[in-house]
Amino acid sequence: MPDVPELCQGQGMNLAARIAGTGSYLPARVMTNAEVCERAPTTDAWIRERLGIETRRIAAPDEQASDMGAAAARKACEAARITPAQVDAIICALGSGDVMVPATAAYVQHKLGITHQCPAFDVRMACAGGLGGMHLARGLLAGGLANHVLVVGTQLGSRTSVDWTDRTTAPIFGDGAGAVVVGHQTAGGGRHILASRLHSDGGLTGIVGQFGGGTITPLSPEMLARGEHFIHMDGKAVWTVAERELPKVAREVVADTGWDISDVDFVVSHQANRRLLLHVLGLLGIEQARTFTNIERYGNTVSASALIALDEAARLGHLKPGMKVLLLAIGAGMTWGGMTVEW
């Protein structure tokens, strides 16, 4: 167990968490809607109107999910003013990773040059993974098991999970990575995580997922021929769950914090669908001016999405000291959650 920092000694141990630093990485290759339409039977107008997406990023042929994750992680460590050697645990939230086994987190660890016995493991909560990883990081800090937890969300679906001929999914997804260092609260440091909640409903597993390659449908030529290794999604069902559960968890976590929804200054959300995000905010009575979107440029980067949005919102100056910030995400499982931060 790492040494408890001086802040936590003396007058009782304060193991509350803060966002010590953020980082993100986007591949250089930009894919336009026009390119998607060359392979999938859809139109640029439909993609823009229904999804709010104009472009997305695509990883280079020699670029791996762990490469992107490590690049985002280095930026987060730099922002947190720590070296990778000071990281006590790595939680890697995945859509598609380097390999099935071992954990992509182990590849990230190696590429960061971390050689000490730092636990590194993956979590698979799909689009809710970035927020879910931060939720778990709070637990590690509260249990005194770490001082700095690196949460990485990385997604490389362009050559693994996306069927580029499927009009229902091809326009949606992009590649990228985001990262957050979660550390102990420091006097005057700000960015304090005040509350978080995470929910899942396993009865909704059929709504969205990659259903081939596991024990139900093992890897085989027939499974590949049927395209069951690609992501499949019932968009209407996702919308229904999101509009029901995201406002609910937002109100729960805000109440846990002692706030009212009207107190929220800014919302950072997983970027699933621009219309859906603005619809959910409308149900909460939060105007568009109190959020930030980048789905227009990056599409849905799954587990990386909320972390990339958080990093960009911070670096662009949308998040100012003292702001009451609400984070939201929902993904396959179905899994969803919320978090409050006093920036």
pLDDT digits (tens, 9 = 90+) for 108-137: 999 999 988 899 999 999 999 999 999 999
The parent domain of residue 138 ranges over 6-184
Final residue of a structural domain among 133, 149, 184? 184
Which tens digit of pLDDT belongs to each residue from 181-239? 999 987 677 899 999 999 999 999 999 999 988 899 999 999 999 999 999 999 999 99
Does the annotation mark 232 as catalytic? Answer: no
How many helices and strands, by DSSP H and E, does the chain display? 10, 13
Same domain assignment for residues 111 and 25 = yes
Same domain assignment for residues 212 and 180 = no
List 8, 92, 118, 127, catalytic entry: 127
Q: How far apart are CA 189 and CA 203, in angstroms?
A: 41
List 148, 270, 294, 318, catalytic entry: 270
Q: For strands 55-58 and 89-94, give the pairing.
A: unpaired
Which tens digit of pLDDT belongs to each residue from 151-179? 999 999 999 999 999 999 999 999 999 99
Q: Closest by alpha carbon to 172, among 67, 60, 283, 46?
A: 46
Over residues 50-79, the mean pLDDT reads 98
Does the annotation mark 270 as catalytic? Answer: yes
Does the annotation mark 127 as catalytic? Answer: yes
CA 296 and chain centroid, separation: 17
Contact 343, 292 (CB under 8 A): no
**Domain count of the chain?**
2
Residue 1 lies in a domain: no
List 33, 147, 300, 318, catalytic entry: 300
Same domain assignment for residues 180 and 201 = no
Same domain assignment for residues 16 and 112 = yes
Same domain assignment for residues 326 and 254 = yes
Residue 337 pLDDT: 97
pTM of the model: 0.93
- Domain containing residue 15: CATH number: 3.40.47.10
Same domain assignment for residues 267 and 200 = yes
